[in-house]
Chain A
Amino acid sequence: MEHSEIKKLIIDSLDADFDTAEFPEKLELEGIGYDFNEDFEEKVFKTIFSEKVLSIRDNEFISNLSLLVGRVAITGIAAIIILLISIFITEGGSFSINSLVGLGDVYDEGLICLLGGL
């Protein structure tokens, strides 16, 4: 096909009423075809599945981290319970704010001396 014919085809294809349904095939016959490289499909699959592996790794990391945080939290709660029980036992079966914060045996005078450095 001559260049002038191709130019006319291009211009005509933009008319609103022009039926362009078979236009891509027509152009392809004239060498105006587009395609990707031969390894295109392979690259698409490589990208999809390497992304999947990465997301699986991310998920594994997050689940390991939450397991670790959970274990630390359980250990902490157990330590607090043991501490409370030991305070309860040493205080002879009673709980008070002072005994919890360790001020059970401190008198006002002693506290003033301590803070005043006397």
Chain B
Amino acid sequence: MERLSNIGSARELYRKADDDELVRASLSGDKLAFSEIVNRYRKMVARLVKGMLEDSVYAEDIGQEVFVKLYNALPGFRGEAKLSTYIQKIAVNLTLNEIKRRKRFFSTFARTGDDEMYEYEFVDSSNEEKREAKELVDKALKSLDPKFRVVVVMRMLQGYSTKETAEILDLPIGTVLSRLSRAQKQLKDILEKL
């Protein structure tokens, strides 16, 4: 009982801790500290991965891989960038690799089976209107090419500025701006039809 209350108070303590403290505690083998990192950033990773992979069943696996990679990479994390940026970079790389892998797989084996692999789950959509709204966003994102989709997800679902988007994607700001403008034109056409 006492142990449980200790865990509870440790969780409470970590909830208030900043990222650097959590990283240091995780590196010393504290599982609760890493658990707090997972809880703090799981929604951020979910928005990126599920936004990019159209809420597919693979998104869950990629999300897990992001945190496993982060855990293994923590000893090399020097704190030069924010932890959230570091996690985003891992998530972007893994997601884009997964898209490439799936593109190769479906173009070789089962082009028509692509859509059957998606499992739509409507988190927090308590009514029909909300469900439809999410479906609308998912459909719009799905219709974009991955290189445009990723900038749209970063701006729209993650709330990053164009500068931050460029930094995370390792792209010149001009490229991000031109992709945003082209994605905006494409989305206008797509959303008119939906």
Contact = CB atoms under 8 A, between A and B. Distances in A.
Interface of A: 1, 3, 6-7, 10-11, 13-16, 19-24, 27-28, 30-37, 40-41, 43-45, 47-48, 51
Contacts of B181: 14, 16
Contact of A43 (B43, B64, B161, B184): B64
Given A34-B47, A44-B38, A14 B156 contact: yes
B43 A35 contact: yes
B170 interface: no
B129 A16 contact: no
Contacts of A48: 67-68, 71-72
Interface of B: 31, 35, 38-39, 42-43, 45-47, 50-51, 55, 60, 63-64, 67-68, 71-72, 122-127, 129-134, 136-137, 140, 152, 155-162, 177, 180-181, 183-184, 187-188, 191, 194
A41 B71 contact: no
A40 B63 contact: yes
Given A31-B122, A36-B60, A47-B64, A41 B42 contact: yes
Given A6-B136, A6-B137, A10-B191, A24 B55 contact: no
Q: Which 3 A-B pairs rank lowest in CB-CB distance, beginning with the nearest? A: A31-B130, A14-B184, A34-B46
A67 B118 CA distance: 50
A47 B66 CA distance: 11
A14 B46 contact: no
B47 A31 contact: no
Most buried by B among A10, A23, A45, A51: A10
B64 A11 contact: no
Contacts of B55: 34
Given A40-B60, A44-B38, A45-B31, A27 B187 contact: no
A37 B59 CA distance: 11
B191 A44 contact: no
A7 B191 contact: yes
B183 A14 contact: yes
B51 to A, nearest CB: 7
Given A31-B131, A45-B35, A36 B184 contact: no
B123 A34 contact: yes
A36 B62 CA distance: 11
B133 A34 contact: no
Contacts of B43: 33-35
